[in-house]
Structure 1
Amino acid sequence: MSSRDVLKNASTSASYNVLLQVMFRLLTFLLNAFTLRFVSKELIGVVNVRLTLLYSTLVFLSREAFRRACLSGETGTNRSWRQVVNLLWLTLPLGVLWAVLLVCVWLWLLEVPDARTVPYYGPAVVLFGLSGVQELLAEPLWVLAQAHMLVRLKVVAESLAMIAKCSVTVVLVVFARGWGLYIFSAAHMVYTGFLVLCYAVYFIRFLGSEEAEKKSFPLRRVGDLLPRRADGEPLVDRTLARLTWSFFKQSFLKQILTEGERYVMTFLNVLSFGDQGVYDIVNNLGSMVARFIFLPIEESFYIFFGKVLKRGRDARSQKQEDVSMAAEVLECLLKLVLVIGLVISVFGYAYSHLALDIYGGSLLSSGAGPGLLRSYSCYVLLLAVNGVTECFVFAAMSQEEVDKYNLVMLALSVSFLFLSYVLTWWAGGVGFILANCLNMGLRILHSLLYIQRYFQSSGWRPLRGLLPSPLLLLALAVSAGVTAVSEAVFCCAGGWLRRLVHVAVGAACLVAVLVAVLLTETRLVQFVRTQLLDRYTKKHT
């Protein structure tokens, strides 16, 4: 597959993933707004922080290293997919071990919530652990689908699973409110069950079909999806296994950085369950755009960089056509996420209070809620840049460099936990965001230095993507001032008419910023139109 084809597939995948994440965030957004009217914030805190942390820790530590290793390199050319499938099935026993360990910790070492406000905590912990193990049954199929760009499968499977989860939650919240945590445990089991079912049904129909032949799919029968030894081959590829082990060691540290605030809240009890619920809701609102735009871009273009560039070689040792394309794509991606992040930071400050008041009423808009969301709006900018820079760095690093970076991640993890604990006692929930900002800044600095060294001997300078045009900066600065004044004058205690005026002012400022982008960032506009929008629209025409 040529580099151009890889770019096309990565762009298509990113477009589909953005669409998928938009739908997910909207459904979750509406579901949270609905459940806020029926259940206590303590219950929401236990579900969204403690139980979700159990699930995310289990699946991340069980599969992340396998995903990164098996989706890097020349996946479809010089790799035995029989050995890859065998390696991927190791996620299941690993997941069982993690489930047993984590369930014991959650049941016996952590503070148990009051059964009167948060009933059925013990069974819920077990069910969330089982749901994580259940999802791992589809892991070999997920990797096969991603590696061979079966992007519509992921969209359909996760869409059906999310719709089923939301439906079960709504029905049980309305008609069986006394079930407590059983409501959310049952909904999560349904979600992971639907994922596994959709992937299994698809591959049963896909294998041996004409479509599989056209795509030169390496497996022919359903039995090929199960682990077994091929004649003349080791059970697993040792090089791939060593790379997996390197990523596995790193996954501990990355999980701490990703979910650090939840670990601090869960193990150090710096916030009550109710405050945890408010923080998590605000955190989900603040990260909505980051998750449905930045994360799909990172996942899709990690595959692109991994296939176009040879791991562990600098720019001079690569095919220059591939390096040129990688540099151009990296520069455009950096500019894209930078512009989006700046827009979120500027307009998030002036519209945080209004957004929380509309979404959750005084439960969220009073107290620390608006300050949390304003802080998170600034953090989103760092989150956006870090996602793209690490996307490139992890795809280009050699195994030895990955191992060395584990030491950097260890230092960042320790400092993050310390800063989170100290800053939370000083500034409450905002302290978590400040600690994230400091650590994210250090991660970005490390990635920028690596990218600078990588392209130093070449003529490409992709880091120029982090330099927005003066006109765009001026438009953003004026918008920040105008919307701040508008909030002070019109929002948020003067009725709906004054709020609409505040929204209209923001809309006008946003249009001015978009005009500045169209006038000055022509390469970015061309990249978005040709590599993201066109790929998606062509698939639907």
Structure 2
Amino acid sequence: MTSLDVLRNASALASYSVLLQVMFRVLTFLLNGFTLRFVSKELIGVVNVRLTLLYSTLVFLSREAFRRACLSGVSGTSYSWRQAINLLWLTLPLGMLWAALLASVWLFLLEQPDPQSVPYYGVAVVLFGLSGVQELLSEPFWALAQAHMLVRLKVVTESLAMIAKCIVTVVLVVFARDWGLYIFSAAHLVYTGLLVLCYAGYFIRFLGSEEASKKNFPLHSAGELLPRRADGEPMIDWALARLTWSFFKQSFLKQILTEGERYVMTFFNVLSFGDQGVYDIVSNLGSMVARFVFLPIEESFYIFFAKVLVRGRDVKSQKQEEVAIAAEVLECLLKLVLVIGLIITVFGYAYSQLALDIYGGSLLSSWAGPTLLRCYSSYVLLLAVNGVTECFVFAAMSHKEVDKYNFVMLALSVSFLFLSYILTWWAGAVGLILANCLNMGLRILHSLLYIYRYFQPSQWKPLRGLLPSPFVLLTLGISGAVTAQSEVIFCCDRGWLLRLAHIGVGAACLLIVVVVILLTETRLIQFVRTRLLPRYTKKRT
């Protein structure tokens, strides 16, 4: 498979993943808005912060290192996939170990919520841990699907699981409200169970079929999905295992940075359960675009960079045509996410209060919600740039460089926790976002320095992607000033007619910004049309 084929497949995967994430976030958005009207904010705080943190910590620490190592370490042959699958199955016992350890901490060391307002906490901790272990059963299937660009499988599987979770939640919230945390525990078990069933069912049917033979799939029967020894070879490729260990040490630190505010809220009790619930809803709303646009792009193009570039080699030791494509893609991706992030930051300032008032009423808009959402709009800009820079850096780093970066992550993790604790006492929930911004800025600086040094001996300068057109920047600045004044005049407690006027002003400004981007960023538009939206391009041609 040539680098252009890999790029085409990665672009298709990114496009479909974006659509999938859009659906997920919209469903979650609607589900949170619905449950806000039936359950207490304390219950939402425990579910969305504490129990979700338990689940995400368990799953991330159990599988993230294995995913990164196996996706970049296998060559696509039957032999390498045999050992990769054996390695991936180790996520299950590791997950059981993490489940037992984390559940003990959540049950015996952390402050317990009031059983009157948040019933069945102990059982919910066990069930959320069980759902995490259950999801790890799908790891070998997920890795095969991701590496071989089985986009439709991922979309259908995760869509069915998410829809089922939403249906179970809505039905139980309406008809069994007294179940408390049982509602969300049952919904989560349904979600992870369906993921495993769909992935396993597909590969049991697919392997050994004519379609698998035509695609030269590395496995030939369902039995090969289980761990087994290849004749005359060790069970595990130890080079791959060492790479996994390097990523594992890094993943522990990355999890602290990713979920740092939840750890601070959970372990230091800086906010009440009710305030945690409101903060989590606001932060999820603020980071929605980052999750369903930037994260799929990061995941898909990490695979592209990992397959196009040889890990650990400098730029002169790489195939120059591969480096040229990688540099072009990196430059365009940087400009794309930066432009999107700037739009979110500019328009997020003037429309935060209106969005929260429509979504959750006075429960969200009368608290510090609007200020939180405005801060998050700026934080999204940093998330956008960091996602692209780190996906390149992690794909290009050698094993030794990955180990060295672990020390950087350690320093960032310690400083983040310290800053979060101090800034939260000083500025409340806003302090958590400020701490995130400072640490994200340091991560971006490290990645930019690595990229600069990597391409310095070559003719390519992908960091030029961080410089949008001056006309785009000017239009965004004017739009920010106009929409901010519009909020003062029309919003947000003066009736729906004036609110619609405020929305109209924003829509007009956004349209002008888009037109300026189309006219001035022609190379970026060409990249989006030909790389990120290949299906759209085919229809046009």
- Smaller-chain TM-score range? over 0.9
1:10 pairs with 2:2: no
Counterpart in the other structure of 1:165: 165
Letter in 2 for 1:338: L
Unaligned runs of 5+ in 2: none
Percent identity over the alignment? 82
Aligned-partner Cα distance in 2 for 1:141–1:10: 18
Change (3 A) 1:539 1:13: farther
Classify the secondary structure of the residue corresponding to 1:169: helix
Which one is further off, 185-194 or 76-85? 76-85
Letter in 1 for 2:179: W
Measured after TM superposition, the shift of residue 80 of structure 1 is 1.3
1:290 pairs with 2:290: yes
Aligned-partner Cα distance in 2 for 1:301–1:214: 26
Counterpart in the other structure of 2:519: 519
Aligned-partner Cα distance in 2 for 1:50–1:281: 13
Measured after TM superposition, the shift of residue 294 of structure 1 is 0.1
Counterpart in the other structure of 2:92: 92
Aligned-partner Cα distance in 2 for 1:26–1:395: 31
Aligned-partner Cα distance in 1 for 2:232–2:219: 17
Q: State how 1:373-452 maps to structure 2 within 5 Å.
A: 373-452=373-452
TM-score normalised according to structure 2 size: 0.99
Aligned-partner Cα distance in 1 for 2:486–2:215: 55
Measured after TM superposition, the shift of residue 462 of structure 1 is 0.3
Letter in 1 for 2:479: S
Aligned-partner Cα distance in 2 for 1:396–1:118: 47
Indicate conservation of the 8 Å contact 1:74/1:307, yes or no. no
Letter in 1 for 2:464: R
Aligned-partner Cα distance in 1 for 2:388–2:534: 21
Counterpart in the other structure of 2:52: 52
Q: State how 1:66-465 maps to structure 2 within 5 Å.
A: 66-73=66-73, 75-77=75-77, 80-465=80-465
Change (3 A) 1:242 1:255: same
Classify the secondary structure of the residue corresponding to 1:233: coil
Aligned-partner Cα distance in 2 for 1:333–1:266: 35
What is the CA RMSD across the aligned residues, in angstroms?
Answer: 1.2
Indicate conservation of the 8 Å contact 1:55/1:129, yes or no. yes
Change (3 A) 1:536 1:264: farther
Indicate conservation of the 8 Å contact 1:73/1:310, yes or no. no
Provide, for residues 51-109 of structure 1, a one-character-per-residue CA deviation record: whole Å limited to 9, x for no partner: 00000000000000000001114632596111011000000000000000000000000
Letter in 1 for 2:217: F
Provide, for residues 233-277 of structure 1, a one-character-per-residue CA deviation record: whole Å limited to 9, x for no partner: 110001000000000011110000000000000000000000000
Classify the secondary structure of the residue corresponding to 2:72: coil
Aligned-partner Cα distance in 2 for 1:96–1:314: 40
Aligned-partner Cα distance in 1 for 2:510–2:528: 18
Measured after TM superposition, the shift of residue 37 of structure 1 is 0.3
Measured after TM superposition, the shift of residue 536 of structure 1 is 5.8
Between the two proteins, the alignment pairs up a number of residues equal to 541
Aligned-partner Cα distance in 2 for 1:330–1:295: 15
Aligned-partner Cα distance in 2 for 1:534–1:414: 43
Provide, for residues 100-147 of structure 1, a one-character-per-residue CA deviation record: whole Å limited to 9, x for no partner: 000000000000000000000000000000000000000011001101
Measured after TM superposition, the shift of residue 534 of structure 1 is 2.3
Which one is further off, 527-536 or 392-401? 527-536
Letter in 1 for 2:166: C
Measured after TM superposition, the shift of residue 537 of structure 1 is 6.7
Indicate conservation of the 8 Å contact 1:160/1:194, yes or no. yes
Counterpart in the other structure of 1:509: 509
Classify the secondary structure of the residue corresponding to 1:118: coil
Indicate conservation of the 8 Å contact 1:3/1:308, yes or no. yes
Indicate conservation of the 8 Å contact 1:420/1:435, yes or no. yes
Indicate conservation of the 8 Å contact 1:75/1:147, yes or no. no
Aligned-partner Cα distance in 1 for 2:537–2:140: 29
Change (3 A) 1:229 1:539: farther
Measured after TM superposition, the shift of residue 300 of structure 1 is 0.1
Counterpart in the other structure of 1:40: 40
Change (3 A) 1:78 1:187: closer
Classify the secondary structure of the residue corresponding to 2:477: helix
Classify the secondary structure of the residue corresponding to 1:27: helix
Measured after TM superposition, the shift of residue 533 of structure 1 is 1.6
Indicate conservation of the 8 Å contact 1:73/1:307, yes or no. no
Indicate conservation of the 8 Å contact 2:334/2:385, yes or no. yes
Q: Which runs of 4+ in 1 moved over 4 A?
A: 536-541
Indicate conservation of the 8 Å contact 2:161/2:195, yes or no. yes
Letter in 2 for 1:227: P
1:530 pairs with 2:525: no
Aligned-partner Cα distance in 2 for 1:39–1:505: 35
Measured after TM superposition, the shift of residue 538 of structure 1 is 4.8
Counterpart in the other structure of 1:468: 468
Measured after TM superposition, the shift of residue 210 of structure 1 is 1.7
Aligned-partner Cα distance in 1 for 2:94–2:540: 40
Aligned-partner Cα distance in 2 for 1:323–1:314: 10
Letter in 1 for 2:64: E
Indicate conservation of the 8 Å contact 2:393/2:447, yes or no. yes
Letter in 1 for 2:237: D
Classify the secondary structure of the residue corresponding to 1:37: coil
Measured after TM superposition, the shift of residue 5 of structure 1 is 0.4
Indicate conservation of the 8 Å contact 2:92/2:133, yes or no. yes
Classify the secondary structure of the residue corresponding to 2:382: helix
Letter in 1 for 2:140: P
Aligned-partner Cα distance in 1 for 2:522–2:501: 32
Indicate conservation of the 8 Å contact 1:208/1:221, yes or no. yes
Aligned-partner Cα distance in 2 for 1:94–1:130: 13
Measured after TM superposition, the shift of residue 467 of structure 1 is 0.1
Aligned-partner Cα distance in 2 for 1:79–1:11: 28
Classify the secondary structure of the residue corresponding to 1:71: helix
TM-score normalised according to structure 1 size: 0.99
Q: State how 1:493-504 maps to structure 2 within 5 Å.
A: 493-504=493-504
Change (3 A) 1:313 1:535: farther
Letter in 2 for 1:110: L
Indicate conservation of the 8 Å contact 1:16/1:536, yes or no. no
Aligned-partner Cα distance in 2 for 1:54–1:382: 26
Letter in 2 for 1:36: L
Aligned-partner Cα distance in 2 for 1:533–1:383: 22
Change (3 A) 1:77 1:200: closer
Aligned-partner Cα distance in 1 for 2:278–2:27: 19
Provide, for residues 183-204 of structure 1, a one-character-per-residue CA deviation record: whole Å limited to 9, x for no partner: 0000000000000000011001
Classify the secondary structure of the residue corresponding to 2:533: helix
Letter in 2 for 1:200: A
Counterpart in the other structure of 2:481: 481
Indicate conservation of the 8 Å contact 1:113/1:121, yes or no. yes
Measured after TM superposition, the shift of residue 539 of structure 1 is 9.4
Aligned-partner Cα distance in 2 for 1:384–1:310: 25
Measured after TM superposition, the shift of residue 535 of structure 1 is 3.3
Measured after TM superposition, the shift of residue 540 of structure 1 is 12
Which one is further off, 525-534 or 465-474? 525-534
Classify the secondary structure of the residue corresponding to 2:236: coil
Letter in 2 for 1:80: S
